[in-house]
Amino acid sequence: MHIADGVLPLGSLAAGWAGAAVVTGLTLRKAPAEDLPRVAVMTSGFFVASLIHVPLGPTSVHLVLNGLVGMVLGWTAFPAILVGLLLQALLFQHGGLLSLGANALMMGIPALISSWIFSQRGRLGFRRPEAVMGFLAGAVAILLSGVILALWLYSAGQEFWAVARLALLSHLPLMFLEGAICAAAAVFLMKVKPEILGRKG
């Protein structure tokens, strides 16, 4: 899902960096200091999940787990994903430094939305609401990330339009996989350490 350097035009890169800077500033203001160990663990999980990927033109398909990061971290999901992307770009040239802002928005904004989705689980009037909302959080995160990826690629010019459509379609099966992962993680964590899932979006 990462966009490599050299793909997006200057305007899109600038918009990505500006948007990422604003969102990072807003979310860090809401980040309690006691969340730092949790952020470190989830950043590591995000970092590792993305390393096994299938190249797809100027992007790639891989596990993202931004829905899970959002479920656990809430507001701090965005800076955690930003740090993970920065490390991937520096250590493995996965994505790029110029496109870091665009990639952060593509994966971080859906993580924040997934956090809000999961925080609504108490409104459901049946057993195991964490499984249902966990699935929705994981699936919606990938769907939104795929849509944002396609929009970024559309901004790169007509030569990337076919790749944009293919990238969006290729992430549809990943929606269900990540939804299942998030649902299973939510059920497990609710049993062994429910306070981890107490973060509100």
Please report, in tens digits, the pLDDT of each residue of the chain (201 residues total). 789 898 999 999 999 999 999 999 999 998 777 778 889 999 998 888 877 766 666 666 778 999 999 999 999 999 999 999 999 999 888 888 999 999 999 999 999 999 999 999 877 767 778 999 999 999 999 999 999 999 999 999 888 888 888 888 888 888 999 999 999 999 999 899 888 885 544
pLDDT at residue 115 in the model: 94
Name the pTM for this structure. 0.89
Residue 142 lies in a domain: yes
Residue 1 lies in a domain: no
Backbone φ and ψ of 60, nearest 5°? -160, 165
**Which residue range forms the structural domain that includes residue 175?**
10-198
Instruction: Retrieve residue 63's tokens.
Output: 């596990």
Residue 73 lies in a domain: yes
With helix as H, strand as E and coil as C, how does the chain read? Answer: CCCCCCCCCHHHHHHHHHHHHHHHHHHHHCCCHHHHHHHHHHHHHHHHHCCCEEEECCEEEECCCHHHHHHHHHHHHHHHHHHHHHHHHHHHCCCCCCCHHHHHHHHHHHHHHHHHHHHHHHHCCCCCHHHHHHHHHHHHHHHHHHHHHHHHHHHCCHHHHHHHHHHHHHCHHHHHHHHHHHHHHHHHHHHHCHHHHHCCC
Residue 80 lies in a domain: yes
Residue 3 lies in a domain: no
pLDDT at residue 89 in the model: 92
Determine the distance from the C-alpha atom of residue 11 to the mean position of all C-alpha atoms in its chain, rounded to a whole number: 23
The CATH number of whichever domain residue 180 belongs to comes to 1.10.1760.20
Residue 2 lies in a domain: no
Residue 30 lies in a domain: yes
Contact 108, 22 (CB under 8 A): no
Residue 4 lies in a domain: no
The total of structural domains in the chain comes to 1
